[in-house]
Amino acid sequence: MTFGNPWMLLGALGALIPLLVHLFDRRRPRPHPFGPLAFVMRSQKRTASRLKLKRLLLYALRTLILLAIPIALARPELTRDAAAAQVVKGPAATAIILDASLSMRWSDGTPLFERARDEARDALKDLLPEEPATVLVCTQSPAAPPPPGFDRGRLRSLVDEAKATHGAADLSRCLDLAARALEENPMPAKRLVLVSDMTATAFRLEAPPPTVKGPTGAPVKPEVVLRDAAEGHEVLNNRAIVDLKVEPALQAGPRTFQFTFTVRNFGAEPVKDLEAAVRVGESTLAKGFVDLPPGGTTQKALTVRFPQGGTVLGQVTLAPDALVEDDRRSFVLPVPRALKALVVNGSPHATRYRDEAFFVDAALTAPGSPVEVATRDAEVGLREDFSAYDLVLLLNVPAPSADEAQKLAAFVESGGGLFISMGDRVSPEAYNQRLGPVLPRPLRLVRTSAERDDPDADTKSARLAQVSVEHVLFSPFTGQAEEGLVGARFYKYMLLEADSPGAAGASQVLATYEDGAPAVAVARKGKGRVALLTSTVDRDWSDFSIRTSFLPLMQRFAAYLTGSLDEREEVRVRVGESATLRPEGARKVSSVRAPDGSEVAVKEQPEGALVAGPVTEPGVYSVLGADGKVQSDLSFAAVLEPSESDLGRVPMDTLTAYFGEETVKASTGDADKPTVPLWTWLILAACLAFFFEGTLLRK
Amino acid sequence: MLLDAQTLARLQGVKLRARAVMEGVLSGLHKSPHQGQSVEFAEHKEYAPGDELRHLDWKAYGKFDKYYVKRFEHETNLRAVMVVDASASMGYRSGALSKLDVATTLAGALCYLLVRQQDAAGLALMAGGKWKDVPPRASAGHLNVLLDTLEHTTPTGATDLGSAADHLAEVLPRRSSVIVLSDLLDENQDALRRILALRQRKNDVSVFHLVDPAELTFPFDDPTLFIDMEGQGRVEVNPREIKESYLEEFNGFLASVKAACAEADVDYDLVRTDDKLDDVLLRYLSRRGRRR
């Protein structure tokens, strides 16, 4: 508390007068003989307690009068924050901050943003002619506003053209930016007008409130005017999809996926039978209902089987509420297409489990697998028309003839997948000679780590030592799943020649044995891919085929070699962020289009990646190739920041306390109320005390 | 011509004041309520100075060795006794006359009237707990005795109306007229009832209730130490603070006295010490006339 005339406080000593009078008043009462003394005594007895209270009240009132008047004359003023300088009064340079975050799209018939724009227009209208102003539309990445000026028309058109975004807004940062802009104006008084729905996620209340440089250079709290665009709504009810997981549901068949989406009720009322659906285009593929308690979260899983492979662009949706933007979430889902695989069995056997192709056939045709297998012996299989297949598997096949090898090479070059496994029928020299251009690396010789009938075979046999789990082929084999790989024993395996440095289509070794010899090598050949397993896929050279990892690895070989395994990184992008695209090979990207058809800025990165964005709205973004056609596999979905769906509001009291009660002027756009200095209250108190004192005396 | 209190106060002594008052009402309205004389013996009464010696019962003296006077029915036209309260509280005055001044003046004037029309007038003075009786007689010389007694009365002691009642019951013959002049400020709650009980003995009882204007209006402002005039009590109060309560109490007292008198068929008159006394007497005589 500060005092304008502190010396006036000496007058407060006058408050001691009633006490001194009480203590030192020694006036002797006039003696008066009186006949009816009994009546006097009875009257005094009757009124004693009332008189005592009356005297006490009189004493208090007189003390109050004598105390209030000198304190009022001292002109006291309350300052809550001693560190902050006082607010400078008078005409003020004004910055209007218009919240354009996603939450402002909330609508009960009239969107909050429309109301906010009206409030901003009113704020402009309320300015005095001598008050310069600026406007900052607060988005996810706000730009510093221009210094305050007097071009009201430009500011009004800025407000008129403003649109609510789909991103979060950091109002604390926007207030700071506006405060910096105000500092550029020499007018001593500054004012920030915040037009917002006052959602809690938009404020960082742990940060200090905005200040501007005062006339002395010391930080001064600017006057803050809060205009609540959601006035009258204690709670902004909203529910939203806050998360979505799409996983293959192999047990339900090929191309079946489970959509698990997390729904949250940010409102104060329970929600029953809320419709949740998976849609592609206009058709609804699956639908369910969820119940949500107030403030609660629930998960809903819907299973969808897609009739065919390819990239699916769709949405999961909720029944729309007041904020429809977060009631839907787009997805881009690569659905594996049906694959045709030709298994060329180099060592057929009448006993099924001794057959070279038995385990491979079982793995590729397991439930949920999209692979359709045709098994042939070497003689027939190599004469097949490979173009009818997506994948050819050579299992312990003697080296094909030159024509057959040429067919195979052409098949791979044109985009086919080739898997080669070793065995007793594989001749390294013949393979190198006939299939040299196709092999990831030339074969050298067979190495035997242990004989199968050796009692110490368990210890002598080779095991996988290093597996490139970062590669898409082995990426699932981490943790406990890795045990299935490293537990396999390899009695024999083919050693490979070293890769010739600088050779085109260099190979990649994805797994090695303990001695460092390659176990799995892959290479790109033209548009196709080749994978080489240096041991057998039956139990002749290893027991890998009976290990738990065999089935999933073979399925991944099939998917990888046919290009249907999602090798690219899943593009996860939120509104306001940029998407990084990695087109494979020589594919070119001409442009990226937003859901509304507008073009998104694309920047090329040195390593060949492309950065598109920042994206401004949720939905599916289409990537167009050099030919102008949509590259579905590169398309990506942008999603909303889930926290922006939380429309919990900051109580006005909290905001007032945050900005400082002495600085917050108005809260709802009402006419400014004149401030009442403290001394007027004191004078009022003294007058009331005087009145009551007189009333008591008359009684 | 009616005499106000200030004028009366300038007249020194009860004789002058009583005479002045009496002359004011000398229209002679009073008539004796009883006609003729009787010699029928009624009762004995112990001798007191002033009694007719010729009525001494010598036979009784012979038997009891005490003087008794014979009383006869309708011995006089009217036998009236003025009971004057001369307690200390009667000495209170806020104006020209104290309550005792008014009481003695009224009593003197009444004595004049009675003796003038051949009625017997007597006195019973109560002061300092002692009684001073002057038996009723109708002779002209008796008037001087009555007025002298009133003249020399000074206020002292506590009010004791109860014992006054007992005394009168003992010494007064039946059908006497008893005129009580008092402020009735007796701490004994039963006193008034005992005074009024005289009416039951076929006496004609009248009460002049004397009050000072200050007692009626409590006009004090400054803090005051009130001192009891008949005892040791004292109390320091701010009169303004208790005025309302005091007036409520005192008016309640007046109302209760008036009600008690009415119930006992006793003539009651509230007399302020600033009232015109001839007016008071005229009022009284007028009421008397109506009663007859």
The CATH number given to whatever domain includes residue B284 is 3.40.50.410
Taking an 8 Å cut-off on Cβ atoms, the answer to whether A43 and B235 are in contact is no
pLDDT at B75: 47
pLDDT above 80 (res B12): no
**Rounded (5°) CA angle A672-A678-A681:** 95
A50 touches B: beta carbon within 8 Å: no
Q: Distance between CA atoms of A581 and A560, rounded to whole angstroms?
A: 20
- Tell me the nearest-neighbour CA distance from A59 into chain B, angstroms: 16
Band of residue A511 on the pLDDT scale cut at 50, 70, 90: very high
Query: For the residues B105-134, what does the mean pLDDT come to?
Result: 85
DSSP A326: G
- Please compute Rg for chain A using Cα positions: 41
Within 8 A by CB and 6+ apart from A643, the residues are A168, A201
pLDDT of residue A501: 58
- What is the predicted pLDDT for the residue at A503? 57
Q: Hey, is A419 helix, strand or coil?
A: strand
Cβ-Cβ pairs closer than 8 A, A with B, add up to 84
Where does A203-309 show beta strands of DSSP type E?
Answer: 212-213, 219-220, 223-228, 239-248, 256-265, 271-280, 283-292, 297-305
Chain centre distance of CA B41: 28
Looking at the fold, whether B23 and B99 belong to one and the same domain comes out as yes
Rounded CA-CA distance A455/A463 in Å is 17
Q: Do residue B67 and residue B184 come from a single domain?
A: no
Q: Give the pLDDT score at B11.
A: 58
Residues of chain B neighbouring A38 (CB-CB closer than 8 A): 185, 187
Facing A31 at nearest CB: one of B183, B185, B227: B227
The stretch B26-52 carries a mean pLDDT of: 60
If one counts every other C-beta atom within 10 angstroms of the C-beta of residue A502, the result is: 6
Give me the pLDDT at residue A138, please: 93
Query: Is A41 within 8 Å of B233 when comparing Cβ atoms?
Result: yes
Q: Which residue has the tokens 């009366």?
A: B8
CB A497 within 8 A of CB A441: yes
Q: What angle do CA A641, A643, A644 make, to 5 degrees?
A: 70
Task: Note the pLDDT of residue A86.
Answer: 45
Per the structure, the complete domain to which residue B47 belongs is given by 35-75
In our burial notation (b when 16+ CB lie closer than 10 A, e otherwise), range A288-298 reads bebebeeeeeb
Domains of chain A in start order, with CATH, are: 92-235+649-676 (3.40.50.410), 239-336 (2.60.40.10), 339-561 (3.40.50.880), 573-639 (2.60.40.10)
Structural tokens at position A280: 């592609």
Is A41 touching B (CB cutoff 8 A)? yes
> Are A32 and B92 within 8 A, CB to CB?
no
Q: Is B245's CB within 8 Å of A33's CB? A: no
Q: Give me the mean pLDDT over the B70-83 stretch.
A: 71
| B97 and B163 share one domain | yes
pLDDT at B109 over 80: yes
Which of B182 and B79 is assigned the larger pLDDT?
A: B182
Find residues 245-274 of chain B whose CB sits inside 8 Å of chain A.
245-246, 248-250, 253
pLDDT-derived band at B196 (thresholds 50, 70, 90) equals confident
For residue A35, the chain B residues in CB contact (below 8 A) are 89-90, 92, 99, 183, 185, 212, 215, 229-230
Contacts of residue A174, Cβ cutoff 8 Å, sequence gap at least 6: A97, A99, A136, A138, A142
Residues B179, B232: one domain?
Answer: yes
Q: Select the more confidently predicted residue: A662 or B150.
A: B150
Two tokens, residue A397: 């096949």
Q: Left, alpha or beta for A59 (phi > 0: left; psi -120 to 50: alpha)?
A: alpha
Q: DSSP readout, B121-151? A: EEEEEEETTEEEEEEEE--HHHHHHHHHHHH
In sequence order, which residues have a C-beta less than 8 Å from that of residue B168 and are 6 or more positions away? B81, B83, B124, B178, B198
- Long-range Cβ contact pairs of A295-298 (< 8 A, separation 24 or more): A295/A265, A295/A266, A295/A267, A295/A268, A296/A264, A296/A265, A297/A242, A297/A262, A297/A263, A297/A264, A297/A265, A298/A262, A298/A263, A298/A264
Q: Which residue would you say has higher pLDDT here, B39 or A161?
A: A161
Q: How confident is the model at residue B30 (pLDDT cuts 50, 70, 90)?
A: very low
Beta-carbon separation of B233 and A47 below 8 A: no
CA distance B246 to A37: 10
How many Å is the maximal CA-CA distance in chain B? 67
- Which of B231, B236, B250 minimises the CB distance to A39? B250
Residues B26 and B43 placed together within one structural domain of the fold: no
pLDDT of residue A489: 92
Name which of A206-210, A313-317, A606-610, B275-279 the model is least confident about.
Answer: A606-610
Residues B103 and B18: beta-carbon distance below 8 Å: no
CB contact under 8 A, A39 and B220: no
Cα angle for residues A24, B227, B156 (degrees, 5° grid): 155
Contact B124, B83 (CB under 8 A): yes
- Residues from chain A that touch B92, judged by Cβ atoms under 8 A, are 33-35
- Confidence class of residue A476 from pLDDT cuts 50, 70 and 90? confident
How much is the pLDDT for A78? 65
Chain B nearest-CA residue for A31 = B225
Q: Does B160 share its domain with B257?
A: yes
**Of the candidates B114, B135, B108, B111, the residue with the CA atom closest to the CA atom of residue B124:** B135
Q: Do B43 and B84 share a structural domain?
A: no
The radius of gyration computed from the CA coordinates of chain B, to the nearest angstrom, equals 20
C-alpha atoms less than 13 angstroms from C-alpha of A482 in its C-beta half-sphere: 11
**Domain-ending residue, one of B75, B96, B129:** B75
**The predicted structure's pLDDT at residue A675:** 46
Q: State the residue for tokens 């509104």.
A: A575
Please tell me the distance from the alpha carbon of residue A124 to that of residue A122, in angstroms, as a whole number.
Answer: 5
Q: Which of B47, B75, B103 is the last residue of a domain?
A: B75
Which structure tokens are listed for A554?
């073979």
pLDDT at residue B13 tops 70: no
pLDDT at A650 over 80: yes
**How far is CA A12 from each of CA A1, A70, A71, A226, A322, rounded to the nearest angstrom?**
16, 5, 7, 39, 60
Tell me the pairing of strands A239-248 and A223-228: unpaired
Asked whether residue A657 carries a pLDDT value surpassing 70, the answer given is yes
**What are the two backbone dihedrals, phi and then psi, of residue A59, each rounded to the nearest 5 degrees?**
-60, -45
| pLDDT confidence bin for A632, thresholds 50/70/90 | confident
**Helices of type H across A326-473:** 358-364, 378-381, 402-413, 428-435, 457-460
- Measured CA distances, A47 to A57, A191, A697, B75 (Å): 15, 61, 15, 56
What is residue A59's predicted lDDT score, i.e. its pLDDT? 87
Q: What are A408-458's pLDDT values in tens digits? A: 999 999 889 999 999 999 999 999 998 888 899 999 999 999 888 888 888
Contact state of A40 with B226 under an 8 Å Cβ cutoff: yes
Confidence label for B16 from pLDDT (cuts 50, 70 and 90)? low
Residues in chain B, overall count? 292
B215 and A35 in contact by Cβ < 8 A? yes
Q: What is the pLDDT of residues A161-189, one digit of tens each?
A: 999 999 888 999 999 999 999 988 888 88
ipTM of model: 0.78
What residues in A contact B248, CB-CB < 8 Å? Answer: 43
Share of chain A above pLDDT 90, in %: 32
Can you read off the two tokens belonging to residue A70? 């000198």
Mean pLDDT of all residues in chain A? Answer: 85
Residue A677: pLDDT over 70: no
DSSP A143: P
Asked if the model's pLDDT at residue A75 lies above 90, the reply is no
In this structure, the answer to whether residues B9 and B57 fall within a common structural domain is: no
* A81 has a pLDDT exceeding 60: no
Q: Compare CB distances from B235 to A35, A41, A46 and report the shortest one's residue.
A: A41
- Which residue of A lies nearest to B188 if distances are taken between CA atoms? A38
Tracing tokens 């742990």 back to the chain, one arrives at A206
Which residues 133-152 of chain B have a CB within 8 Å of chain A?
Answer: none
With cut-offs at 50, 70 and 90, classify the pLDDT of residue A154.
very high
Residues of B in contact with A34 (CB under 8 A): 92, 215, 226-229
pLDDT of residue A49: 85
Chain B CB contacts of A28 under 8 Å are 225
Which is more confidently placed, A607 or A203?
A203
Name the closest residue on chain A to residue B90, using Cα atoms. A35
**pLDDT score recorded for residue B72:** 65
Is B224–A29 a contact, with Cβ atoms under 8 angstroms apart? Answer: yes
Return the H-helix or E-strand segment holding B71: strand B68-72
Q: Which of A282-291, A391-400, B8-17, B169-178 has the lowest mean pLDDT?
A: B8-17
| CB contact at 8 A, A578 and A621 | no
Residue type, A374: A
Q: Please indicate, yes or no, whether residues B147 and B286 belong to a single structural domain of this protein.
A: yes
For the ranges A211-215, A582-586, B180-184, B248-252, the lowest mean pLDDT is seen at A582-586
For residue A26, which residues of chain B lie inside 8 Å, CB to CB?
none
| Rounded mean pLDDT, B53-75 | 80
Is residue B210's pLDDT more than 70?
yes
Residues B47 and B22 in one domain: no
CB A96 within 8 A of CB A193: yes
Cross-strand bridge partners of residue A419: A393, A531
Closest CA to A343 of A412, A402, A281, A417: A417
Mean pLDDT of A602-610: 80
Asked if B107 and B66 sit in the same domain, the reply is: no
B195 to chain A, closest Cα gap in Å: 20
Q: Are residues B63 and B167 in the same domain?
A: no
Q: Do A39 and B228 touch (CB under 8 A)?
A: no
How many domains does chain B fold into? 2
Rounded to a whole number of angstroms, the distance from the CA of B149 to the nearest CA of chain A is 24
DSSP codes, A255-282: TEEEEEEEEEE-SSS-EEEEEEEEEETT
Contact B267, B207 (CB under 8 A): yes
CA atoms of A36 and A44, how far apart (whole Å): 13
Please answer whether residues A83 and A211 qualify as being in contact, where contact means their C-beta atoms are separated by less than 8 angstroms.
no
* DSSP H helical ranges for A297-450: 358-364, 378-381, 402-413, 428-435
CA–CA gap between residue B230 and residue B158 (Å, rounded): 5
What mean pLDDT comes out for the span A64-82? 75
Of B20, B54, B75, at which residue does a domain stop? B75
* pLDDT tens sequence across B245-282: 999 999 999 999 999 999 888 999 999 999 888 888 88
Whole-number percent of chain A with pLDDT over 70: 92
Query: How far does CA A17 lie from the centroid of its chain?
Result: 70
